[in-house]
Structure 1
Amino acid sequence: MKKMELKDKVVLVTGGSAGLGAEICYAAAAKGAIVVTCARRINLIGKVKERCEELSGKPAYAFQLDVADPESVAACLEKVATEVGPVDILVNNAGFGIFENFADFNPKDITRMFEVNVLGMMVLTQQVVIQMLEDKRCGHVINIASMAGKMATPKSTVYSATKFAVLGFSNALRLELKPANIHVTTVNPGPIQTEFFDKADPSGQYLASLGNHVLDPQKLAARIVRSMEHPVREINRPGYMEVAARFYTLFPAIGDFLAGGIFNKK
């Protein structure tokens, strides 16, 4: 497949204020892309925008966005269309998790997690895809899912459910958009060293228990941006968790043993 040059391509990243989202913005900017970083925290995305401009030598953009609010999505996309232009690559990175026993879960947190991780992502993606189809342009949608969507573990009931939904949505969307030459990539990472865990696990015990098995967001971002140049179906990291996820599907009893034991660090 011919390499897609990222120079002057418009790359929109949700959840782009920090962590993996910010690193994706920087890696894309370094390749010459026009980066649009979107998140709720306007003070942080402004700094990401400035860094992207330094890396790319061209304008970058920062727009406030709450993906769970359809009005915010519409307003953000209107600004992108007016001030930037058509989106070539959409990275759905916004999301959060809470690791807690399901019996103790606050119902409001369940609703909010689905609104952010699934429903809002779908609303935004639909609007971007409609424009891609109308323009008859080659495009790319990259959805940040999770290994939790392939292999659920204790205390990840709601988070895993949202990521299973992202995987199902992405797999069907990939087939629908293939004839239009619009690619869909699903990224399934294990634990990443980001502030995601400030909310997911405030105690810090989970990350501490993983030691060197935590992913580096900069390295993962570089891999994701390479997939913008050479689209792939999935990116699964780390490799041993992908093997475990395959085991989980092929050998359910062994899968439950692994998910509830070796890979249960929460």
Structure 2
Amino acid sequence: MDLNGKRILITGASSGIGRKIMQKLVSGRDCKIAAVARSFENMSNMPGTDKVSFFSYDLSVKENIDKALDESIKALGGIDCIIACAGFGYFEKFEGKDYNHIEYIYDVNVVAPLYMLQLLLEKTDGNISFTVIASALGKMTLAGYSLYCGSKFALDGFAHAYKYEQPDRLHFMTVYPVGVDDTKFYIRNSDDMPLPRPLQSIDKVAQSVIKGIEKSKRYVYTSKAFMIGYALNRALPFLFPIYQNLYKSKFYAWLSKKNENKK
């Protein structure tokens, strides 16, 4: 899909991958954009924001998803493409009990994009594109990310099943970025947390997403290093566990230090 002249809705547009995609589209494509996020900060210094319609909604709430899509359609005159970047992760040990804690991450990471896809199909007739940002942690697992991995594996499973059901008029693309070096997730958890490797620039991820949509890709792996490692692990399945156990040791060392600091 050529994105020039298209009407594009981006969720999670206030930070991270969503914000970078918006910046690239504003500067590099002649398109209309609706940006959705819980809140918007420091947007006044971003060139081209006068071309963007901003809507503040928490997409963990069903009614907010309905409103976000309806208002975006009204502002843009329709929707040709949705890029669902809204999502977040916990870095923690899965223990105790907290229903809302579990529910919230699945509502944002899984339920919101899939429900938005249903709405888009219902409210449009022509050819459309829908992109969802999954994760390399939807293909492998690491200690500390149990709930996050679970939500991203859910997206991966949906994508691989839905390709046998989706209508011909829909281009559906799933993106698997590795850790991105300057998202709020790592800034928020920057107290010496062990960073997963490889890391890559947010600029590279955003460019890969745009390129993937324009080339009608079904799956986009933004890191060649991860692609090679994933392929090697399928042939030599002991490779990922080596890294996973090394990371597990780092996670428990971090957790121990964090607990000590609380005393």
TM category, shorter? 0.7 to 0.9
Q: Please, which of 30, 33, 46 is the counterpart of residue 32 of structure 1?
A: 30
Structure-2 change in CA distance of 1:234 and 1:131 (3 Å): same
Structure-2 change in CA distance of 1:152 and 1:41 (3 Å): same
Q: CA deviation at 1:252?
A: 3.9
* 1:92 partnered with 2:81: no
**Matching residue's letter, 1:95:** G
Q: What runs of 5+ residues in structure 2 fail to find an aligned partner? A: 252-263
Q: CA deviation at 1:106?
A: 4.5
**What are the Cα deviations for residues 24-62 of structure 1, in whole angstroms up to 9, with x where unaligned?**
111122211211110001445x548x63346xxxx3211
- Secondary structure in structure 2 of the residue aligned to 1:206: coil
* 1:205 partnered with 2:225: no
Q: Which position in structure 2 is the counterpart of 1:131? A: 123
| d(CA) in 2 for partners of 1:9, 1:72 | 24
| d(CA) in 1 for partners of 2:31, 2:199 | 28
Percent identical:
24
* 1:152 partnered with 2:141: yes
Structure-2 change in CA distance of 1:174 and 1:61 (3 Å): farther
* Number of corresponding residues: 249
| d(CA) in 2 for partners of 1:257, 1:26 | 38
Q: Please, which of 219, 239, 244 is the counterpart of residue 259 of structure 1?
A: 244
**What are the Cα deviations for residues 122-166 of structure 1, in whole angstroms up to 9, with x where unaligned?**
11121012223xx1x111111100000000111111100000001
| TM-score normalised by structure 1 residue count | 0.84
Q: CA deviation at 1:258?
A: 3.1
Q: Which position in structure 1 is the counterpart of 2:109? A: 117
* 1:224 partnered with 2:209: yes
Contact in 2 for aligned 1:198/1:204 (Cα 8 Å) = no
Q: CA deviation at 1:16?
A: 0.3
**What are the Cα deviations for residues 67-90 of structure 1, in whole angstroms up to 9, with x where unaligned?**
110111111112112221221111
Structure-2 change in CA distance of 1:264 and 1:18 (3 Å): farther
Contact in 2 for aligned 1:25/1:52 (Cα 8 Å) = no
Q: What runs of 5+ residues in structure 1 fail to find an aligned partner? A: none
Report matched runs for 1:1-266 at 5 Å: 4-29=1-26, 30-44=28-42, 47=44, 51-53=47-49, 59-103=51-95, 106-132=98-124, 135=125, 137-177=126-166, 179-193=167-181, 194-199=183-188, 201-207=189-195, 213-261=198-246, 266=251
Q: CA deviation at 1:263?
A: 8.9
- Secondary structure in structure 2 of the residue aligned to 1:180: coil
| TM-score normalised by structure 2 residue count | 0.85
Contact in 1 for aligned 2:143/2:247 (Cα 8 Å) = no
